[in-house]
Structure 1
Amino acid sequence: MPFASNDGVRIYWKLLGTDDKPPLVLLNSIGTDMSVWDDCIDYLLPTFRILRLDMRGHGASDVPSGDYSLQDMALDVLAAMDGAGIASASIAGLSLGGMVAMQIALDAPGRVEALSLVCTSATMDPANWQARIDAVRRGGMTSIADMAMERFLSSRFAARSEEAVASLRRGLLSTRAEGYAGAAAAIRDMELEHRLGKISCRTLVVTGADDISTPRMQHGQVLAKGIPEAEEAVLGCGHLAPVEAPAALGAALVHFFVSDGALQEATDSIYHAGLINRRRVLGDEWVDASLTRATPFNAEFQAMITRIAWHEIWGRPGLDDRTRRLLVIAITASLSRWEEFALHVRAGLERDGFTRDELKEVLMQTAIYAGVPAANTGFAEAMKIMNEIDEISR
């Protein structure tokens, strides 16, 4: 495990991505570790080399006793950047991570190329944070767990995402009380609001429309107005935007941090990744013919399909190719999309994506849930293709 050291405090860090990509540092909130960014990684990795770390007092990093300061935590990040060989980077910080990111931009401006301040603030009520510190040091993490969870996520997301809620709660309770209290002291004592005008790098302020921890009016707009020429984005989520809105946040970060030329390069990279999946599923012959048929009128549409359908969907790890093929068969038959149905039936049978018996079972299931006429036509269309395949094989 890679660790960096700042004045004897070890900070755990992890670097993902290739060296040719621009570096992006992701900083976690209080009560979470670097895994709070997990759902965003797939949206960011095609474009960036990503450095994540566990803030002191969290995750696998050391838990020094006593109060922490934003200055110390900023030095922790710089030590991790040094350990990863990163001289300067774009930095996206969530909540406490955003406060630390602002501290870095003020104390070491040469190390920061651009900032994204996600669901964060330059000023918080010291009395509220002192009360939280006292509760944790007196009663442990369980004393503030319910309150913190209510402030992490929107009620709408929490109601439909039991696994995410359980994982976050588990991570919160596994945080050492002394580490949480130390980091809370850094929030209590921060002195950023009067220095916002001195932040000189490009800055994107991201707020959650349902964030009750750092609401836009009292916090996000203060940052956006105080930091020179800061841009602002509002997402439909609660406090932990990387958990509730990973795709929207990932897109906002890519578009803000990346120049037009680099953005085009990233788009091209996603396109070629999608093309690999498309060739794997449909075969080179069909894909080559499809590319040849592209015209100025439909070329952008074809490129969009390759990036979104073939990279974002067919490239997801949750289902294997066979399952996805059979799902496409059932959906296209149900919707009477017979051209697309025939394409995937032929590709699946010719490339050993599924068996004829499995195809039959899908059409039988379709008859129950989408109607006998749809399945009847599906059987007829599939028989045509199977007869053609048999004729060629004779």
Structure 2
Amino acid sequence: MPFTIRDGVRLYWRLEGSPDRPPLVLLNSIGTDHALWDPAMPGLLRAFRTLRIDTRGHGASDAPAEDYSLAMLAADTAAVMADAGLGRAAIAGVSLGGMMAMQLALDHPARVSALALICTSATMDAAAWAARVETVHRQGTGPIAAMAVGRFLSPAFAARHPEIVAGMQDAIARQNSAGYAGAAAAIRDMQLIDRLGAIDVPTLVVTGSNDISTPLDPHGARLLAAIAGARHLGLDSAHLPPVEAPDALVAGLRGLLCADPARDAAMDALFEAGLRNRRRVLGDAWVDRSLAGRTEFNADFQAMITRVAWNEIWGRPGLDDRTRRLLVVAITASLGRWEEFNLHVRTGLAAAGFTCDELKEVLMQTAIYAGVPAANTAFAEAGRIIAELQSSQNG
């Protein structure tokens, strides 16, 4: 087993993945060890060379009986990186791990190329953490195990996975009390909030919609406001996304850390070209409403449509817009795609892209080649739209 020894303390670490992939250091929350990342590792190892570390006081690392500090834990991380042969790397940390990541970026900036701050904060309730430190010193970790796991996982996830709940509670109850209390003291005493403006690497702030420990408001919002250029990723998770939402978390990390500026610039250019065609054909009002309705779930799909359909196809020189509009009307009527049919009928008539007589001829042709039932519905849908447009003009 690989260990780094710093100031007489053994720190366990695990290096995995192909050496030709970008390095990523993974740091854990209080009360967990490097296995926290197990559910995400298949996805991470396809993109990164990963270094996982058991924080001082956790897992296979030593647990000296003293108060730890974030500066101490950041120095531990830097020492392990050196032993692992990683000069500079992206750092992803959950909760306490995120606090360590920020401290590392401030104290050892040459080590850090990017940050992923996952369900973490730059300031916590010091009194609450002081009380937890005192409880653990007096009674051990057993009395806080259920409370801690209750904050780690969302109720719905916990109900589906009682085995994970039991395993986490048992691990915390068995953890070295001095190690847990030492790490809790580091959270109690952290001094990060006023230094965040000095962080100048690409940063992703990840929050969980069900996280009651470090929710977006106020914890994530403070990080986003203070770190220049920080981006936000919201996940359907509680406090431990590597457990509850590993695939979505991996996708977010890959988006931040595997970005290709040249490719991104090309994609942006294609999107803007498609957006111009989309506005010309459908009108600014409709496009603005569509863009405003994008969500994290469908944004990539909307971008793909704009780049491919509206740039690559609607931008081709072989047909004029009128012909393309009528082709779309005929095809969508034939396939029964009435939402798209109605959109193109309405915009085509409203923008004088074609006439009612031309629309009628297309639908007559559709009746022969796609069937009378399809044309029957198309005439009904188009008739309703024509009546609405005439009513608005008369009104």
Please give the residue correspondences for 1:146-225 in structure 2 after superposition, counting only pairs within 5 Å.
146-225=146-225
Query: Is contact 1:255-1:263 (8 Å) kept?
Result: no
Pair member with larger Rg = 2
Q: Which residue of 1 aligns with 2:63?
A: 63
Partner Cα distance (1:43, 1:53) in 2: 18
SS of residue matched to 2:39: helix
SS of residue matched to 2:4: strand
Residue 175 of structure 1: how far off its partner (Å) = 1.4
SS of residue matched to 1:92: strand
Partner Cα distance (2:258, 2:45) in 1: 13
Please give the residue correspondences for 1:225-240 in structure 2 after superposition, counting only pairs within 5 Å.
225-240=225-240
Alignment gaps of 5+ in structure 2: 265-303, 305-395
Q: Which residue of 1 aligns with 2:75?
A: 75
Residue 165 of structure 1: how far off its partner (Å) = 1.2
Partner Cα distance (1:239, 1:263) in 2: 33
Q: Which residue of 1 aligns with 2:130?
A: 130
Please give the residue correspondences for 1:344-359 in structure 2 after superposition, counting only pairs within 5 Å.
none
Q: Which residue of 1 aligns with 2:26?
A: 26
SS of residue matched to 1:117: strand
Q: Which residue of 1 aligns with 2:49?
A: 49
Q: Which residue of 2 aligns with 1:283?
A: none
Partner Cα distance (1:74, 1:48) in 2: 21
Q: Which whole-Å deviations, capped at 9, do the CAs of 1:211-234 have from their partners, x for residues lacking one?
A: 001111010111111111100110
Residue 262 of structure 1: how far off its partner (Å) = 11
Partner Cα distance (1:70, 1:166) in 2: 29
Partner Cα distance (1:174, 1:41) in 2: 25
User: Is 1:243 matched up with 2:243?
Assistant: yes
How many residue pairs get aligned? The number is 265
Partner Cα distance (1:75, 1:44) in 2: 25
Residue 259 of structure 1: how far off its partner (Å) = 2.2
Q: Higher mean Cα deviation, 155-164 or 255-264? A: 255-264
Residue 254 of structure 1: how far off its partner (Å) = 0.7
Q: TM-score, normalised by structure 1?
A: 0.66
Structure 1 counterpart of 2:121, one-letter code: S
Partner Cα distance (2:186, 2:57) in 1: 12
Partner Cα distance (2:10, 2:227) in 1: 32
Alignment gaps of 5+ in structure 1: 265-299, 301-394
Residue 42 of structure 1: how far off its partner (Å) = 0.6
Identical pairs, percent: 56
For the structure 1 residues 120 and 64, does the alpha-carbon distance in structure 2 shift closer, same or farther, using more than 3 Å as the test? same
SS of residue matched to 1:91: strand
For the structure 1 residues 226 and 258, does the alpha-carbon distance in structure 2 shift closer, same or farther, using more than 3 Å as the test? same
Q: Which residue of 2 aligns with 1:4?
A: 4
Q: Which residue of 2 aligns with 1:257?
A: 257
Residue 261 of structure 1: how far off its partner (Å) = 7.5
Residue 195 of structure 1: how far off its partner (Å) = 0.5
Structure 2 counterpart of 1:44, one-letter code: L
Deviant stretches of 4+, over 4 Å: 261-264
Q: Which residue of 2 aligns with 1:15?
A: 15
Structure 2 counterpart of 1:13, one-letter code: W
Partner Cα distance (1:212, 1:196) in 2: 23
Query: Is contact 2:92-2:101 (8 Å) kept?
Result: yes
Structure 1 counterpart of 2:191, one-letter code: E
Query: Is contact 1:57-1:180 (8 Å) kept?
Result: yes
Q: Which whole-Å deviations, capped at 9, do the CAs of 1:48-80 have from their partners, x for residues lacking one?
A: 000001000000001011100000000111111
SS of residue matched to 1:105: helix
Query: Is contact 1:32-1:175 (8 Å) kept?
Result: no
Structure 2 counterpart of 1:254, one-letter code: R
Q: Which whole-Å deviations, capped at 9, do the CAs of 1:265-299 have from their partners, x for residues lacking one?
A: xxxxxxxxxxxxxxxxxxxxxxxxxxxxxxxxxxx
Partner Cα distance (2:80, 2:248) in 1: 27
Residue 235 of structure 1: how far off its partner (Å) = 0.2
Structure 2 counterpart of 1:147, one-letter code: M
Query: Is contact 1:207-1:215 (8 Å) kept?
Result: yes
Partner Cα distance (1:220, 1:259) in 2: 23
User: Is 1:143 matched up with 2:143?
Assistant: yes
Q: TM-score, normalised by structure 2?
A: 0.66
Partner Cα distance (1:222, 1:259) in 2: 25
Q: Which residue of 1 aligns with 2:270?
A: none
Query: Is contact 2:145-2:170 (8 Å) kept?
Result: no
